[in-house]
Amino acid sequence: MKTFLLVIGLLTASTMIYAHEKIVRGTIFDDAGMPLPYAMLGVKGKSIGTISNDAGYFVLRIPLEKYVSTDSIIVSYLGFHNHTIPLANLIDSVNTITASLISKPIELVEVIVMPQSISQKRVGRANGYGAVRTPFFLNREAVDDELGREVGTLLRLPKGMCRLLDANIYIAPNPYASIKLRLLIYDVNNQGLPHEVILNQDILLDYTYKQTGWNRVDLTPYNLILDGDTEIAICYQWIKSELPSDSRTKNIWIGIPCAFPSAGNKVIRRESSQDIWTAIKGVKPSIYLTVENRK
């Protein structure tokens, strides 16, 4: 088990205080001095958070009405244990804060090849049409991307051993010049909500100028083998976007087609990487998995 270091270097003007918010700026590095792109930062239990950019730089906006001196920021990166930093340390300090992150290996189920019935199945909604769309992202201000928002659904795997072959999401409409999303796969707790990430590597999806339709991610290189007849959560996180140069509106949105009503299904979402999950029941979004099923 390897130990890595995460360094958050605060700028000299680390905090700006306005009438309605505090702003913390910084850059996230590893112990070799290389920036960590798309790291997740969030205030525990609140909808306050952001994502570092491709150079490791972040801007965290903290509304004054939501700020409590005892709040903590959780810094997370796939494949590592989370690290907690008291928010007061970042608000008032211009010093460099070093945090030790320990890699978190994932134990996969060992599969013995035996004469068994093997089939491929789709789990979820493979239809890209629907009069109802759940907003993946509603951009209230063109300059504010609200980075870190997650939207997804729960999928029950068929009985038997399951190997995940691919993950698929349908996006429409899409008025952006470009979009970058992160795929996250969670196990599910007793409340039917995402619990812990079972995928320990970054998987990023790119949509080009006004691109819509299906986006497929090949999961076979990650060797994800799970027990069947269990629920997992498939979620997509808002990482980065670019507005078209001719955009004049501050109210643009991206949606996922859905079946509604759809008993036993739901859309799950949260506003940042450490926010509390919420669920909208009776909605089945156009998200599905292809699995190799062994019985």
Q: What is the pLDDT of residue 111?
A: 52
Collapse the DSSP code of 65 into the 3-class scheme (helix H, G, I; strand E, B; otherwise coil) and give the result.
Answer: helix
Q: What is the pLDDT of residue 148?
A: 92
| CA-wise closest residue to 57 among 16, 17, 23 | 23
Q: What is the pLDDT of residue 134?
A: 80
Q: What is the pLDDT of residue 76?
A: 87
Q: What is the pLDDT of residue 284?
A: 94
Q: How far is it, in rounded angstroms, from Cα 146 to Cα 154?
A: 23
DSSP 209: T
Cβ atoms of 207 and 246 within 8 Å: the answer is no
Q: What is the pLDDT of residue 20?
A: 75
Strand partners, 172: none
DSSP-assigned letters across all residues of 45-61: TSS-EEE--TTSEEEEE
Place of tokens 């993950």: 167
| CA-wise closest residue to 290 among 163, 180, 184 | 163
CA distances 164 to 2, 39, 122, 290, Å, are: 27, 25, 10, 6
**Average pLDDT of adjacent 10-residue blocks, the chain of 295 residues:** 44 45 77 81 90 86 78 84 77 48 56 67 93 69 70 94 95 87 95 90 90 95 90 95 71 84 92 93 95 88
The answer, as to whether pTM is greater than 0.75, is yes
Q: Please state whether the peptide bond connecting residue 261 to the residue before it is cis, i.e. omega within 30 degrees of 0.
A: yes
All domains of the chain, ordered by start, with CATH?
3-102 (2.60.40), 118-294 (2.60.120)
Cβ atoms of 111 and 129 within 8 Å: the answer is no
Q: What is the pLDDT of residue 18?
A: 47
